[in-house]
Amino acid sequence: MSTSPLLFDAVPWNPIGPPELGGTERLIRKYWNSDSIGVCVLDAQLNFISVNEALARINGLPISGHVGKTLRQVVGELTDQIEPSVQRVFAEGRQIAPLQISGRRPNRTEKARWIDYFHPIKDETGRVSKVCIVVFEISEEHPLGEAFDDLQRRLNDESQRLRMLLDVNLLLASNSNLPQTFLKVSARIRRVLHHEYAALSLHDPATGLLVRHAIDFPLSKGMTAEVKIAAENSPSGRALLERTPKIFSKHELLSFEGETSERFLEEGLQTMCCVPLIRLTAALGVLTLGSTRQNAFTQRDVDLLEQVAAQFAIAIENRRAAQEMETLKDRLGAERKYLEGPFPLEGHFSEIIGESTTLKQVLGQVATVAPNQATVLILGETGTGKELIARAIHRMSRLKDGPFMKLNCAAIPTGLLESELFGHEKGAFTGAISQKIGRMELADGGSLFLDEIGEIPLELQPKLLRVLQDQEFERLGSNRTIRVKVRLISATNRDLAESVANHQFRSDLYYRLKVFPILVPPLRERREDVPLLVRYFVHKFSTRMARRIDSIPTETMEALVNWPWPGNIRELENLIERSVILSEGTVLRVPLLELRTVAARGAASTRPNTLDDAERQHIIRTLRETRGIISGPKGAARKLGLKRTTLQSKMQRLSIMRSDYTEPER
């Protein structure tokens, strides 16, 4: 039923029951939704402003046939009986005594009798601007006194039902435990409908079954909740599938073959009312009431239960939304931990941040080779975290309790590298004033990590090969053989195969180092790890600098994810450290202009200025001609006269990405 905006513009409408208002508004709200009490509002010209459905039915004319029409156009000659009372209300500005009217309305054939009540509606100045008429139809044989008693009884019944709806609304709004709340709601409905059985069943979209979540049946012989019901062969399922309320008699219950219906009959139920819980386009479940009386439920009761079911549907939907919000809140809270609390670092890969597929493949290779004593060669661009991979291999190996020694072969002068690696005796060379134990000996029983292995000089390579083969060596200036048990892990960003071809690296040492190669992917190939790394570095540097960074702008994160990172994780780490220094508030401010400037310079560089530029463009053109195929008889490596591994190394060194040769040339 609808209300008139002209009447209720200034008063919030409560669909559950009448608000606590005074005067005529309170009266109208109380009776507007009644199915037996007519209500209308007339203006000073006796035009209908608003009409409820009950009065439209009494007059035998739809609501649209009332609004804008005069009183005489709608009720004809009966206007002569009604108009004087209306004019008195306008003139006196007060409610007057009820009027008994009898006669025939233009759109009805039978004679009838009515009692009309006249109430003033005043504007802001206190002047009567409208009149409300409350109409109650009585039969000819009932005297006026009985009619008043009947009217009072109906009004009390309407008031009780409205109060019940309000109580149900309050119960559902103030309780989160649905089964317990249902018992209280059922008890409140029982005061009006006097049912013996009540149940709430929810639809499970995954199975298509109705699951009984709550039951109120004090006289039951053992019927319980948490029962799954087949929707196609049960009373409640029928109401759910047809999405319309259903009343079933005892005879109709016998037509269902399911065990549930038989149980209802065994319990003595003779009438059942099933009302689906409809919310938008979804059927959430069914509210079911049962009685041991025949014809226990009327259409008026169904209308009331539809309002109760609507409240249950809203409550269930709100609870589900709250659960989804809680889940989302937990998820967001977990992400905020990267900024607000310690970063979760656990297990053998505690120092390696990332969840991308490519990184997980590398970590899978680490887990495979770590328990063995095989020599590992870690390949990858500078700044990709090759040392972290080496540490992870050591932590997962059988020698994890031994030392982990590392040596950067490119950071030590060539003349001192042998002494640093193998040690020397006192007097072995000028300046050797004491004995020195080398990294190889210090790593005995553990692992030795040689970074930038491609920089080791040719004259030192045979001695290193001997250690790999025989696990023995001599210190510089000594002829005493020292035996060690060391696992060698090496790393390089150079193409050792090309160095072997150019006679800059021994092939036998190369093959001995490359027992188990692991290629660490560059950051541009694991972009989904960038947000995790950013949050980790923000936490690391903000903690070190005693800063508080609470959030990272979305556009900033998108820019960081899309940047190719030629310097990989080391470049990202340095940028985030600089960003934390530059951030004055709690929001991370990244100097994105620096990235855009570098990108613009790269885009503007269209002509080869160096030999590397020319080589890069030549390789890209060849890759475009072969449609990105690198190896094979029609691959770019064959056309360029290179080995596949050599071409891949050059592509890595020249920062040639897939997008460079798959996108059309500009």
DSSP letters, 458-483, are GGGHHHHHHHHHHSEEE-BT---EEE
Q: Which residues contact 254 (CB under 8 A, 6 or more apart)?
A: 261, 265
Q: Output the pTM of the full model.
A: 0.43
Give the C-alpha separation, 471 to 354, whole Å: 36
Return phi, psi of residue 427, to 5°: 85, 5
The residue-averaged pLDDT of 508-533 equals 91
pLDDT at 617: 85
Q: Which token pair is 418?
A: 């042998």
Please give the pLDDT value at position 559: 87
Is 571 in contact with 565 (CB distance < 8 Å)? yes
pLDDT computed for residue 393 by the predictor: 92
Closest CA to 17 of 170, 181, 122, 132: 170
Using CA atoms in the order 371, 373, 378, 384, what is the torsion angle rounded to 10 degrees? Answer: 40
pLDDT > 60? residue 423: yes
Give the closest residue to 649 by CA, choosing from 457, 499, 490, 453.
Answer: 499
Mean pLDDT computed over 627-633: 83
Q: List CB contacts of 112: < 8 A, sequence separation 6 or more.
A: 102, 103, 104, 105, 137, 140
DSSP 664: P
Residue 543 vs residue 13, higher pLDDT: 543
CA-based radius of gyration for the chain: 44
C-alpha–C-alpha distance, residues 475 and 470, integer Å: 15
> How far apart are the C-alpha atoms of 666 and 662, rounded to whole Å?
12
Residues 565, 642: Cα–Cα separation, whole Å? 27
Q: Which region, left, alpha or beta, applies to residue 347 given φ > 0 means left and ψ of -120 to 50 means alpha? A: left
Give exposure, 439-458, as e/b (b: 16+ Cβ within 10 Å): bbbebbebbbbbbbbbbbee
Q: Is 100 helix (H, G, I), strand (E, B) or coil?
A: strand
pLDDT of residue 427: 79
User: How many residues appear in the chain?
Assistant: 666
Nearest to 592 by CA among 549, 551, 557: 557
d(CA 267, CA 219): 8
HSE-up of residue 67 (Cα within 13 Å, Cβ side) = 14
**CA 335 – CA 1 distance, rounded (Å):** 48
The single residue listed with the structure tokens 């709200």 is: 29
**pLDDT for residue 75:** 93
- Give the integer Cα–Cα distance in Å for 292 and 283: 28
CB atoms within 10 A of CB 229: 22
pLDDT tens per residue, range 204-218: 887 878 888 888 888
Tell me: the pLDDT tens digits for 587-611?
888 888 777 655 545 544 444 456 6
Domain ranges of the chain: 5-158, 175-321, 357-519, 605-666
Q: Give residue 143's pLDDT.
A: 52
> Which of 31-35, 334-338, 374-378 is modeled with the greatest confidence?
374-378
For the record, the structure tokens of 230 come out as: 């087949």
Pairing relation of β-strands 472-474 and 481-483? antiparallel
pLDDT-wise least confident of 11-15, 35-39, 557-561, 630-634:
11-15
Q: What b-and-e string marks burial along 370-405, b requiring 16 or more CB atoms within 10 Å of the CB?
A: beeeebbbbbbbebbbbbbbbbbbbbbbebeebebb
What single-letter DSSP state applies at residue 63? Answer: G
Cα dist from 593 to 194, 535, 556, 562, 590, whole Å: 74, 20, 11, 14, 9
The pLDDT of residue 335 is: 44
230, pLDDT greater than 70: yes
Q: Which CATH number fits domain 5-158: 3.30.450.20, 1.10.1040.10, 3.40.50.720, 3.30.2080.10?
A: 3.30.450.20
Across the range 92-117, mean pLDDT stands at: 87
Instruction: Grade residue 1 by pLDDT with cuts at 50, 70 and 90.
Output: very low
- Those residues whose C-beta lies under 8 Å from the C-beta of residue 646, and which sit 6 or more positions away, are 495, 497, 498, 501, 637
Residues ≥6 apart with Cβ < 8 Å to 406 = 387, 390, 439, 448, 449, 450, 451
What would the two tokens of residue 197 be? 């059985």
What's the confidence (pLDDT) of residue 163?
Answer: 86
Mean pLDDT of the chain, nearest integer:
82
Give how far Cα 140 sits from Cα of 109, 117, 420, 469, Å. Answer: 15, 19, 120, 119
Q: Can you tell me which residue has the tokens 């200025």?
A: 609
Mean pLDDT value across residues 622-648: 83
Q: In this structure, are residues 134 and 119 in contact, taking their beta carbons and an 8 Å threshold? A: yes
pLDDT at 20 (0 to 100) = 34
**Contacts for 54-60: CB closer than 8 Å, 24+ residues apart:** 55/135, 58/105, 58/114, 58/135, 58/137, 59/105, 59/107, 59/108, 60/105, 60/106, 60/107, 60/108
Q: How far apart (Å, rounded) are the C-alpha atoms in residues 369 and 385?
A: 18
User: In this prediction, what percent of the chain has a pLDDT beyond 70?
Assistant: 87
* Cα–chain center distance at 72: 60
The sign of the torsion formed by the CA atoms of 25, 27, 28, 29 equals: positive
Residue with tokens 């004033």: 433
Residue 8 has pLDDT above 70, yes or no: no
- Report, as an integer, the average pLDDT of 463-490: 90
Q: 463 CB contacts (<8 Å, ≥6 apart)? A: 418, 422, 473
CA dist 632 and 296 (Å) reads: 84
Question: What percent of the chain clears pLDDT 90, i.e. is strictly above it?
Answer: 30
Q: Which CATH class is domain 175-321?
A: alpha beta
The single-letter code of the amino acid at 266 is E
- If you average pLDDT over residues 448-461, what whole number do you get? 91
Is 357-519 the same fold as 5-158? no
Q: What is the CATH number of domain 357-519?
A: 3.40.50.300
**Lowest-confidence pick of 5-14, 237-246, 459-468:** 5-14
Secondary element (H or E) of residue 356: none
- How many Cα atoms within 13 Å fall on the side-chain side of residue 138? 21
